[in-house]
Structure 1
């Protein structure tokens, strides 16, 4: 069946840095990122860049899915194990992907003050 969805998002790294440096850092981090994402990003010297890339990835997936109602930030966890980044999904994100028979492919990039993510949704088995 081929490509079933495409999402692209960019995020300002300095915007995320301002949030991290401000009084709303903890509520923002708790609302948007899983514990595993926080542990990984928080120990990096370029934490704002890592958080921005994951924020862009989550936004890109939501766009690719057509913004399904009820989806939550923490339904989408960005992971990387030695290779390409990928999503570990739960909640509404997982339900929608399974109901539609989809798998997601994720690409992340950073340059200057921008982090970007592209998500391609494909029918499973294609």
Structure 2
């Protein structure tokens, strides 16, 4: 059963200016495994993290490093949740998180759907 949905968009030029102006921002927002990617890819990941927060209902106290986007065995993006984000998801009975990311025409976007285990 769908528990929540979230969507977010990021202006690529603005995001690139922000990380150029504040290089430590990348370290604050992204786990080590996510760093070193092209800024467009980082922007899409940032949008996905924001979309996940929205899908979870925007609980406070979530840590950026507790929601990491990895590739699954098929190369598709998927969240790896830990700490504060895993606790928020568990409290809501979330058993699965779906994520889709894209970037084109100066915009990065992401869409997240969370599922509960109940039927």
TM-score by length of 2: 0.90
User: Counterparts of 1:64 and 1:100 in 2: how far apart (Å)?
Assistant: 11
C-alpha offsets along residues 19-54 of structure 1, whole Å, 9 cap, x if unaligned?
Answer: 2322x11x2011100000014x1xxxxx11001000
Structure 1 segments (4+ residues) deviating >6 Å? none
Structure with greater proportional helix content: 1
Mapped contact 1:49–1:115 kept (Cα < 8 A) = yes
User: Counterparts of 1:35 and 1:14 in 2: how far apart (Å)?
Assistant: 23
TM-score by length of 1: 0.86
Structure 1 residue aligned with 2:105: 112
Shift of 1:99: 2.2
| 1:96 maps to 2:93 | no
Cα RMSD (Å) of the superposition? 1.4
Shift of 1:83: 3.0
Mapped contact 1:106–1:119 kept (Cα < 8 A) = yes
Note the residue ranges of structure 2 that are not aligned, 5 or more in a row: none
Mapped contact 1:104–1:119 kept (Cα < 8 A) = yes
User: Counterparts of 1:48 and 1:124 in 2: how far apart (Å)?
Assistant: 35
Structure 2 residue aligned with 1:16: 15
How many residue pairs get aligned? The number is 117
